[in-house]
Structure 1
Amino acid sequence: MPRDYFFFSGLALLLVVPCSVAESLSNQSKNSTGNSWVCDLGHTTLGVESHGGWVDKSSGGGGCSSKSLAVGFAAVVIAVVLYGSNFIPVKRFDTGDGMFFQWMLCIGIWLCGLVINFARQQPPFFYPAVFGAICWTTGNLLAVPIIKLIGMTMGLTVWGIFNMLSGWLQGLLLLEEHPKCEGFNYGGLATIIVGVIVFGFVTSEGKTQQQTTDESGQEEKNPLIPKSFSEQMKESAYSQRVTFAGMRHNAVGKSKETINGEDASKKDTDYSWVDKLGFWPRRICGFGLSVVAGLLFSFAFTFIQLMEMCTDKQHKDMKAIDYTFSLFTGILLASSFWFIIYCIYKKNKPVVYPKVILPGLVSGIMWGMATAAWIVANSELSLTVSYPLVSSGPGALSSLYGIIWFREIKGLKNIILYLVGLVFLFPGAILIGLSKCHKC
């Protein structure tokens, strides 16, 4: 338990800085004539004194030219495809408790940023982007306990909706990016949210099917006495705990796997704090962490968008993609910080799976490419248009993979739910796309 306090104290400490910065930004953005410390801090790399303020983006970023719209929507498609596919390389490999994997993922992200940095002829390093990186990395770290508390399906749905809403509100209120047809934009957002909720009910057999065993150790597919919901929750928590600890038990528990030369069952005890929670504390904690993760994810691009509003010469000469290396470097630094905390928490015995190194790097590179495309889409289309589109599309694509490729999603009910989700998702995306430049 003391190590749990140590872990969450570090979490709170790391969150103080970006949250305080976001509040400062919110106050400064209301005064368009004054200087912004975001612009000033961006200049420290070249030693140039800043006298710029904020540029007016009330009509949305990128304008309504054919080139801007083509680039923006093409970037949305690239981001959706890569985000929806970036975990395929690691699907066949055990990622343990997720900490080592997320570190490999972030190294791959940084490598992608390094290539972009050289391709863009090494633009200056913009320190404010690091605050967004801290937010994203911390939110990503919360995914592991969220999945253990309320499951992947519910966790993804909750943090996805709050990520979408928060990013959209930042564009509308903080950055004052107003689409020409707000009615289409609001209606499209509401429709997409309904679609995301429907997708949340699409379940994978591998995640939801509860199995029982008879005395001989064989699986009982149709038990005589169905399990109660509470029993299913307990077994689900146990199975998730086993998954994250990397254990490989058979039905009667005779076979064991070792991790770093030790019994995996001993490793599992470090994560038992989740299982000590009752049903409602588990749900409340899981939903609360999902909301926090969604909000943290939404702040990943805020500082980049604010730097694009600076009117000084250095920032005006920068393209949106020039900020990616600063963001990705911050992600690697924050991820390394958390991995060090994790190693201390585990008493220098982290759970490491060497087979996940290369897949993790590939997954990170794909994520980095998707994020670079999303940043371009934000610049060309504005957050009020790009954010709902990019944040909702990958879930639909990954579900399609589960139906067609991996055969994880089966049954008429799941197929119908998926199709119903698409019925809401596509019209919502079209409405948001039209809201950019078409008047009501």
Structure 2
Amino acid sequence: MADVMNVTGNFTNGSENFYDKLNTQSAGWVAIVICSICFGTNLIPVKKFKMGDGMAFQWLMCTGILFVGVVVQLAIGSAYRIPKFHPLAMLGGALWATGNSMTVVIIEAIGLALGILIWSIANMLMGFFSSRFGFGILIPKEPKNPTLNYIGVAIAVVSISLYAFIKPNTSEEKTEDNKEEDLEDCKKEEKSASLLKFANFSISQLPVRMKKFVGFFLAIIAGFFYGTNFMPVIYVQQQPGNSQAGLDYVFAHFLGIWLTSTIIFVIYALVKKNTPWLPSNQAILPSLLSGILWAIAQSSWFVANAALGEPVTFPVVATCPAVIATVISVVVFKEITASYHYGKKNYIILGCAICVTFVGIIINALSMIDFS
């Protein structure tokens, strides 16, 4: 009996030591770096594939997310302790999955760089309001310097308007493979047109101004859902006796994501009368990889939240990936260029927008310091 108690005690102490190490500031900032890189690159694997209306893609992506959730749960349960399952944490996953179902349409409307930039900033604003005021649900977290915090939020709003003036490329040269893929997609759409009239509809068919408006609007809505996806977990953590370790909620959160995306896809398939738009076979593994990268980032964000707190992590994590995605879009995909019509204006505005974004990040981080 004594041996059993000793083993159990060592098991518990090991678990506590593990979480103590994760809750240090150094671990929190390492988690933020991992988070920013993975969030900024998670859509790159599927960039070259035509994803149609995005419903199949979001389900495949969420399947990759669930895979990481299972791995995290098994790893923690095997090495330390079995985390308690909180069904309410699944609600946060449901919120995120709803926003995620809009991403492909957003990217098609305004491009990868602008899409990520806008929903990242909207995400930051919602994260700020939910943690700062609590919405009557959470215990409000007031920063040590509220004035700097408000200034940082105002700067984020200014940066959104700057991004709106960037003119992304609206067309790209297609390879022969892409042309063949487009022809196959057209045949699929023609086949389903007799079953459902709007099966042929694509956001690209809208006028340029309307397409841009829809893209910006959906990006802001997606950012709203992204910015509130931590609220259920934070609520659970604020209840007496519950774990403060972010990784304990990863599996429930990811399960909520997968279940919601599955429900969305089933409803979509029913509306399409069992003729859903499916991507090519070559896009399946990249879609799963996209989900795995996102899940690694989100798991790291849970760690960063526990170590540094949401008022610090939200401004950084919600904005830095946007800069990474923009640089990749400029260098690799040539999505934002100095075009004939706009000259170098695109680069100038983009440079200013990135600088303003970083200023906002720094000011929000400084708001946690008491200068009095």
Whichever of the two has the greater Rg, that structure is 1
Give 5+ residue unaligned stretches, structure 2. Answer: 1-18, 339-343
Paired amino acid for 1:188: G
* 1:138 match: 98
* 1:189 match: 153
Aligned pair in 2 of structure 1 residues 187, 376: CA closer, same or farther (>3 Å)? same
* Deviation for aligned residue 1:276: 9.3
Residue of structure 1 aligned with 2:130, choices 143, 146, 170: 170
* Deviation for aligned residue 1:111: 0.8
* Deviation for aligned residue 1:257: 2.2
* 2:6 match: none
* 2:166 match: 202
Give 5+ residue unaligned stretches, structure 1. Answer: 1-61, 212-245, 250-254
For each residue in 1:382-401, what CA deviation from the matched residue of structure 2 results, as whole angstroms up to 9, or x when unmatched?
22221121111111111111
Q: Name the % identity.
A: 32
Residue of structure 2 aligned with 1:309, choices 228, 238, 246: 238
Residue of structure 1 aligned with 2:88, choices 117, 128, 133: 128
Residue of structure 1 aligned with 2:283, choices 352, 356, 361: 356
Residue of structure 2 aligned with 1:435, choices 342, 349, 367: 367
Greater alpha carbon shift after TM alignment, 140-149 vs 356-365 = 140-149
Residue of structure 2 aligned with 1:343, choices 269, 273, 290: 269
Residue of structure 1 aligned with 2:299, choices 372, 376, 392: 372
* 2:223 match: 294
* Deviation for aligned residue 1:141: 1.6
For each residue in 1:160-180, what CA deviation from the matched residue of structure 2 results, as whole angstroms up to 9, or x when unmatched?
443221111110011311221
Paired amino acid for 1:339: F
TM-score norm. by structure 2 comes to: 0.78
Compare the two structures and name the one with the higher helix fraction. Answer: 2
Q: Is structure 2 residue 327 aligned with structure 1 residue 400?
A: yes
Written as runs of structure 1 = structure 2, the 5 A alignment for 1:78-93 is 78-93=34-49
Written as runs of structure 1 = structure 2, the 5 A alignment for 1:406-421 is 406-411=333-338, 412-421=344-353
* Deviation for aligned residue 1:99: 1.3
Q: Is structure 2 residue 42 aligned with structure 1 residue 116?
A: no
Residue of structure 2 aligned with 1:425, choices 351, 357, 366: 357
For each residue in 1:363-382, what CA deviation from the matched residue of structure 2 results, as whole angstroms up to 9, or x when unmatched?
11110010111122222222
Written as runs of structure 1 = structure 2, the 5 A alignment for 1:47-66 is none
**Contact conserved, 2:143 with 2:311, CA < 8 A, in 1?**
yes
Supply the distance in 2 between the matched residues of 1:196 and 1:183 (Cα, whole angstroms): 21
Paired amino acid for 1:115: V
* Deviation for aligned residue 1:70: 2.2
Paired amino acid for 1:78: I
Supply the distance in 1 between the matched residues of 2:329 and 2:206 (Cα, whole angstroms): 31
Supply the distance in 2 between the matched residues of 1:396 and 1:191 (Cα, whole angstroms): 16
Residue of structure 1 aligned with 2:251, choices 321, 325, 328: 325
Paired amino acid for 1:181: N
Aligned residues: 333
Greater alpha carbon shift after TM alignment, 92-101 vs 390-399 = 92-101
Paired amino acid for 2:143: P
Greater alpha carbon shift after TM alignment, 126-135 vs 413-422 = 413-422
Where 2:24 maps in the other structure, the secondary structure is helix
* Deviation for aligned residue 1:326: 0.5
* Deviation for aligned residue 1:279: 8.8
Aligned pair in 2 of structure 1 residues 168, 262: CA closer, same or farther (>3 Å)? same
Aligned pair in 2 of structure 1 residues 153, 77: CA closer, same or farther (>3 Å)? closer
* 1:72 match: 28
**Contact conserved, 1:150 with 1:286, CA < 8 A, in 2?**
yes
* Deviation for aligned residue 1:300: 0.9
TM-score norm. by structure 1 comes to: 0.67
* Deviation for aligned residue 1:266: 4.5
Aligned pair in 2 of structure 1 residues 347, 114: CA closer, same or farther (>3 Å)? same
Paired amino acid for 2:263: F
Aligned pair in 2 of structure 1 residues 393, 104: CA closer, same or farther (>3 Å)? same
Supply the distance in 2 between the matched residues of 1:158 and 1:74 (Cα, whole angstroms): 25
* 2:59 match: 103
* Deviation for aligned residue 1:114: 1.1
* Deviation for aligned residue 1:202: 3.5
Aligned pair in 2 of structure 1 residues 280, 191: CA closer, same or farther (>3 Å)? closer
* Deviation for aligned residue 1:248: 3.8
**Contact conserved, 2:128 with 2:314, CA < 8 A, in 1?**
yes
* Deviation for aligned residue 1:191: 2.4
